[in-house]
Amino acid sequence: MTTTKVQAYAAQSATSALAPLGITRREPGSLDVQIEILFCGICHSDVHQVRNEWSSVMPTVYPIVPGHEIVGRVTQVGAAVTKYKPGDLAAVGCLVDSDHTCPHCQAGLEQFCPNMTLTFNSPDQHLGGVTYGGYSDRIVVDERFVLRVPANLSLAGAAPLLCAGITTYSPLRRWGVTKGKKVGVVGLGGLGHMAVKFAHALGARVVVFTTSPNKKEDALRLGADKVVVSRDVNEMQKHTGSFDFILDAVSAHHDINAYINLLRPDGTITIVGAPEKPLAVSAFSLLMGRRNLSGSLIGGIAETQEMLDFSGAHNITADVEVIPIQKVNEAYERLLKSDVKFRFSIDMASLKS
């Protein structure tokens, strides 16, 4: 197979900083789209995996090139590609391949395919080794995993839709969030702030739970009807038994029972945050009120396109701080301190400088 060298940023171990590295990409095959990457969002999952915090579930193979919130421009397409041509805007999220035949793929849930390939740190079916993500100047992806970006959206702000967007949109839709529902969002980070925008656009009454009092004004601007600083026990108790749905998007260890208790009978809390260590769940929090505890993983390709189209129609993008790739290590440290409003988006042109 013919390959080319491209520039990337990679970590060599769980404790080393990200630094420049030349990597190999395949030349586009007949079904492939080659994309020049313009922006790539920084997801907290990048940090978890660079630091091998998910070692029990998906151990990190080094070097790792993270990044699964990718937007760019098509530079070349294979002979059998029908949906894209050079010059088109295109996007890639967390998935780059699946077997297309299993019941999950047939149902449009490629994220549950036993043979799916993640955008980074997943066995590479073409070149061997592992896949390399979006902190690089170019990527080659099967056209069935390439998404279309609505023309009205800013590219830097659209990039985070490819993970933070779909990961929050999917459970909101699945659990029937609409006008008249009371919805809680726990953790106003990259995912959380997208959840607020989508839940508001779907017509719900949105309450944000945050540990950061300095995010209060922003939460209201993003579409929240109310903000609760979660350390305020009195304020928390006022909401006991009142929520139809709560989305938990917290990246670190926390007491989830405090939120389960806020659900009404038959209400649902969905975990999308993926902290390193298990969360303790009180049986009583669930028994009382027959409440549901569930999880959600990104979303399938068709639903990701639906989310992008919804975002285009409602003019929804992430609130981003654009950084050059040279600032990526600093950005990781700031992300760990919840010091970003609300997503870092890397301007990939900086990789050439």
**Span interacting with Zn ion, options 156-164, 193-201, 220-228, 310-318, rule CB under 5 A:** 156-164
Angle at 37 between CA 35 and CA 43, to 5 degrees: 125
Residue 48's binding partner, choosing from ligand NAP, Zn ion, none, with beta-carbon cut-off 5 to 8 A by kind? Answer: ligand NAP
Contact call for residue 291 and ligand NAP (CB under 6 A)? no
Q: Tokens 């290590």 identify what position?
A: 329
Q: CA-CA distance, 123 to 135, in Å (whole number)? A: 18
Angle at 163 between CA 176 and CA 321, to 5 degrees: 115
Which is nearer to Zn ion, 40 or 269 (by Cβ)? Answer: 40
Sheet with 205-210: list strands edge to edge. 226-229, 205-210, 182-186, 243-248, 263-271, 292-295
Contact call for residue 70 and ligand NAP (CB under 6 A)? no
Site for Zn ion in 28-47 (CB under 5 A): 43, 45
CB of 94 to Zn ion, least distance (A): 6
Orientation of helix 301-314 relative to helix 190-201, angle to 10°: 70
CB of 68 to Zn ion, least distance (A): 5
Answer for which of 163, 186, 271, 308 binds Zn ion (CB under 5 A) is 163
Residue 98's binding partner, choosing from Zn ion, ligand NAP, none, with beta-carbon cut-off 5 to 8 A by kind? Answer: none
Q: CA-CA distance, 71 to 162, in Å (whole number)? A: 8
CB of 110 to ligand NAP, least distance (A): 13
Output the six-digit token pair for 228. Answer: 């609760």
Answer for which of 18, 64, 65, 191 binds ligand NAP (CB under 6 A) is 191
DSSP of 206-272, one letter per residue? EEEEES-GGGHHHHHHHT-SEEEETT-HHHHHTTTT-EEEEEE---S---THHHHTTEEEEEEEEE-
Contact call for residue 51 and ligand NAP (CB under 6 A)? no
Query: Nearest residue to ligand NAP, using CB?
Result: 189
Q: Tokens 């989508």 identify what position?
A: 198
**Span interacting with ligand NAP, options 81-89, 119-127, 293-301, 306-314, rule CB under 6 A:** 293-301
Q: CA-CA distance, 184 to 182, in Å (whole number)? A: 7
Answer for which of 109, 163, 172, 222 binds ligand NAP (CB under 6 A) is 163
Residue of 215, 210, 213 whose CA lies nearest to 236: 210
Answer for which of 188, 199, 202, 301 binds ligand NAP (CB under 6 A) is 188
CB of 298 to ligand NAP, least distance (A): 4
**Residue ranges that bind ligand NAP, judged by CB under 6 A:** 43-45, 48, 163-164, 167, 187-192, 210-212, 215, 249-252, 254, 272-275, 296-298, 335, 338
